Structure 1
Amino acid sequence: MTTYKKGKQPDGGKYLAFDHIRFWVGNALQAASFYCTRLGFEPFAYRGLETGSRETVAHAVKQNKAVFVFESALVPGNDQMGEHQKRHGDGVKDVSFTVDDCEKVFQASVQRGAQVVHPVWTESDEFGSVTFAQVKTYGDTIHTFVERKNYSGVFLPGFKKSEQTDNLLEKLPKVGLNFIDHVVGNQPEQKMETVAEWYENILQFHRFWSVDDRQLSTEYSSLRSIVVTNFEETVKMPINEPAPGKRKSQIQEYVDFYGGAGVQHIAINTNDIIHAVQSCRDRGMKFLSVPGTYYSQLKDKLKESNITITEDIDMLQKLKILVDYDENGYLLQIFTKPVQDRPTLFIEIIQRHNHQGFGVGNFKALFEAIEADQAARGNLV
């Protein structure tokens, strides 16, 4: 594992945080409902026929600072969304960043060679205006720069506050997810380095953390990963690729079923993972499972460490929550099973205790859990 120091403050505006994640899906209403009932999001904002949007419908859901937007075509003949759906199935189209100055961020990226999806434009309503621009990143995924400092509306112009009522949501336990911690992009083999360099050269991100297949492997499969981040280290983007192994890795399985590079998982931060996971399980969310031997080995290792885990290890074992640590602190994490029929996108829940890593100590156990699911799908070949 390698960690890196950040370089000088880049010119051309700041990336402040993840703004929202936009999914292109076959049925936005039903997709939004799944994330509300299973993961504790709540209806937030809506754009569709009733708001004057005649081509697409979008349901935004929110949990504290984490915002997901699910968008679908309303009418036949939307070839762009139709081709995306045919190739990728449901998936992330847009990882949006809040920026301090959209014009500066966009122009700086274009000067460095960004492929433009949409140049700077502004949308307005009675609550003010928001400025946007879009550039292409890996696969069919894009980044939207969102400057919203002059806007006081519920979400974005064109959206109204969601009027959906669901009595079921009021009866379900609160989850307590707080914000998007990181967004992971899977690449075909030998493409990771090129994508990482794109973030460095085009967006002026810097390398934060990396591991290779000597550290992330099992008997059957392995991967390589580079994490890039903005100067303030508030936007973290791990970039993965498969490494050669005896059988198909989880990264290659993703690439095969998604039809190329794309967002593999979204990690959401919480300050109480035990409560969050128990609530999600009570809501019917399915998680990957690791063997009990993981926890007996963990207890033995912790006896020789100066790190004290404040959470109850037996409860972590009951809920199948993973633990990784170093000399400074520890993190707790768990991964859902894929959240759609294709074995592509899944969600991670993570809690950090003075630990800014990505669970390298858990990758072997995680890989083995994923490989068990791959075998059940007939894809561990």
Structure 2
Amino acid sequence: MMNAHANLALAALAFPAHMPNSKSSHIRSRRTRRPLLPLTMAAHPPIRTNIGMSTHGSASGGGEQAGISSTDRFRMIDFHHVEFWCADAASAAARFSFGLGVPLAAESGLSTGNTAHASHLLHSRSGSLALLFSAPYAQGDAVTASVPSFDADAARRFTADHGLAVRAMAVRVPDAGEAFRTSVDAGARPSFAPAELGHGFELAEVQLYGDVVLRFVSHPDDTAIPFLPGFGSVPSSGATPDYGLTRFDHIVGDVPHLAPVAAYIAGFTGFHEFSRFTADQVGTAESSLNVVVLANNSENVLLTVVEPVHGTKRRSQVQTYLDHHGGPGVQHLAMASNDVLGTLRKIRGRSTMGGFELLPPPPASYYDDVRRRAGDVLSEAQIKGCQELGVRVDKDDHGGVVLQIFTKAAGDRPTLLLEFIQRIGCMDKDENGQEYQRGGCGGFGQGNVTELFKSIEDYEKSLDASARLAA
């Protein structure tokens, strides 16, 4: 069997070698660039790697390389944060904090000496989940920016072009400068050269797709800095409860052409193919899409790339995203919870008060099938809870179960969605006897992908005013 990189390389031959250009693809740095240093791993705990073949719900049997030492060109420790560029950071952050139960943890702006941008960081008390919202000031000094890659003019264009959208997907790495140089040497398009932020922090960026960048952040394990240097901590008042969201499980990007984008990302990261679904596997009678999920060696950083399929009865929901977003971008953020049913009840309780509205549930007959497929893992009370909330359920060949649900569009445009997910099972023990859950447990089950695709398609139909009037 060919390995994942060979599959991606062959797939890329079928399409033009095209990557969308970004309006802000030039390299910029306003701080001292670090000299070239060797990549040092000793100061960080070892990443647990999977032994043998990974076949988590993959229609193509991807992930073959996950157990072969390491396919990664450099180590990614985990997702670090996601940054939204927006017109008013305070309002956007307040809405997400209220709706998702993620407290405000740090800020940067005029009160901290930053005249370039206002930034508000939400950070879960239950885990590492971090959402950053940034907006430009009318006038300011770029040198004072706490996020050195921030560009006020580019942020204004970004917001006008894309609305509420993700600008940066950040991952923590042992050495941001080394990750940047390794990526660029392997074909990544540079966006922001490595910059030292002080206190052992470093930041760099490469282009991912469209106007989205992949941001590398490195910092000491024992740092007392709340987020990045230049951010001030916000004391916890207890006014904002924590709903139990822990981390980003995976992040999904919609693009016009999947193969060249997937090959580009796998090429500079060394990621392997975790899952793949094609139109005939996950589509509906009216529309469809193609999906590839890429993963790092430990499979805790999952990047999904999706393309539309044309020539179907309805326009693909991916094409709807591309049209309204104005090109490629992050289509949804999947956030994990260790008790997704409890988390969803709290989120649903605020959905009519300015929070986020969940997609409608599937028909009751769907949960009869859930009992057959996953009744040996989920209790009857859990299955009834899934039915009450509309949670989709799937189980892979290794006994891992995945619970998933989407919100309706998070903003005015039918673009950005939020997903909530819980992975159950796949427990293992490390060399010290400590129990942990293997990365990507339960995979991306074909049944869930189909059901979730259909639920979004039905939601889009509800937005089609011309169709409603005709009916």
Give 1:76 shift.
Answer: 5.6
Report the counterpart of residue 26 of structure 1 in structure 2: 87
Report the counterpart of residue 121 of structure 1 in structure 2: 195
Instruction: Give the direction of change, closer, same or farther, for the CA distance of 1:55–1:305 in structure 2 (3 Å limit).
Output: closer
Give 1:300 shift.
Answer: 4.0
Instruction: Give the direction of change, closer, same or farther, for the CA distance of 1:241–1:88 in structure 2 (3 Å limit).
Output: same
In 2, the alpha carbon distance for the partners of 1:146 and 1:138 equals 19
In 2, the alpha carbon distance for the partners of 1:107 and 1:376 equals 47
In 2, the alpha carbon distance for the partners of 1:180 and 1:229 equals 13
Report the counterpart of residue 232 of structure 2 in structure 1: 160
Report the counterpart of residue 330 of structure 1 in structure 2: 401
Alpha-carbon deviations, 1:103-156, whole Å to 9, x = none? 2211111111211111111011xxx22011111110010011111126321111
Report the counterpart of residue 262 of structure 1 in structure 2: 329
Runs of 5+ unmatched residues, structure 2: 1-58, 141-151, 426-440
Query: In structure 1, what residue type is equivalent to 2:305?
Result: I
Report the counterpart of residue 75 of structure 1 in structure 2: 138
Query: In structure 2, what residue type is equivalent to 1:72?
Result: A
Query: In structure 1, what residue type is equivalent to 2:251?
Result: V
| Cα contact 1:249–1:380 (8 A) shared by 2 | no
Give 1:353 shift.
Answer: 1.3
Report the counterpart of residue 352 of structure 1 in structure 2: 423
In 2, the alpha carbon distance for the partners of 1:157 and 1:300 equals 51
Report the counterpart of residue 223 of structure 1 in structure 2: 289
> Are 1:210 and 2:268 an aligned pair?
no
In 2, the alpha carbon distance for the partners of 1:275 and 1:240 equals 30
The number of residues matched between the two structures is 370
In 2, the alpha carbon distance for the partners of 1:158 and 1:277 equals 34
Aligned with 1:32: secondary structure?
helix
| Cα contact 1:290–1:365 (8 A) shared by 2 | no
Residue in structure 2 matching 1:97, options 155, 162, 171: 171
Give 1:59 shift.
Answer: 0.3
| Cα contact 2:121–2:133 (8 A) shared by 1 | yes
| Cα contact 1:307–1:325 (8 A) shared by 2 | no
In 1, the alpha carbon distance for the partners of 2:206 and 2:216 equals 8
Query: In structure 2, what residue type is equivalent to 1:345?
Result: L
> Are 1:281 and 2:348 an aligned pair?
yes
Give 1:220 shift.
Answer: 1.0
Give 1:40 shift.
Answer: 0.6
Report the counterpart of residue 253 of structure 2 in structure 1: 185
Instruction: Give the direction of change, closer, same or farther, for the CA distance of 1:113–1:33 in structure 2 (3 Å limit).
Output: same
Aligned with 1:368: secondary structure?
helix
Give 1:304 shift.
Answer: 6.5
Q: Where does 1:290-329 land on structure 2 (aligned, <5 Å)?
A: 290-293=361-364, 296-300=365-369, 302-303=371-372, 307-310=376-379, 311-327=381-397, 328-329=399-400
| Cα contact 1:184–1:264 (8 A) shared by 2 | yes
Report the counterpart of residue 211 of structure 2 in structure 1: 140
Give 1:301 shift.
Answer: 5.8
Give 1:27 shift.
Answer: 1.0
Aligned with 1:109: secondary structure?
helix
> Are 1:106 and 2:164 an aligned pair?
no
Q: What's the TM-score, normalizing by structure 1?
A: 0.92
In 2, the alpha carbon distance for the partners of 1:306 and 1:175 equals 26
Instruction: Give the direction of change, closer, same or farther, for the CA distance of 1:330–1:304 in structure 2 (3 Å limit).
Output: closer
Q: Report which stretch shifted further, 326-335 or 45-54.
A: 326-335
Instruction: Give the direction of change, closer, same or farther, for the CA distance of 1:246–1:205 in structure 2 (3 Å limit).
Output: same
Instruction: Give the direction of change, closer, same or farther, for the CA distance of 1:329–1:13 in structure 2 (3 Å limit).
Output: closer
| Cα contact 2:370–2:393 (8 A) shared by 1 | no
Give 1:371 shift.
Answer: 2.1
Runs of 5+ unmatched residues, structure 1: none
Which protein has the bigger strand share?
1
Q: What's the TM-score, normalizing by structure 2?
A: 0.75
Give 1:308 shift.
Answer: 3.0
| Cα contact 1:129–1:157 (8 A) shared by 2 | no
Alpha-carbon deviations, 1:22-56, whole Å to 9, x = none? 11011110111111111110001101011111111
Aligned-pair Cα RMSD in Å: 2.1
Aligned with 1:324: secondary structure?
strand
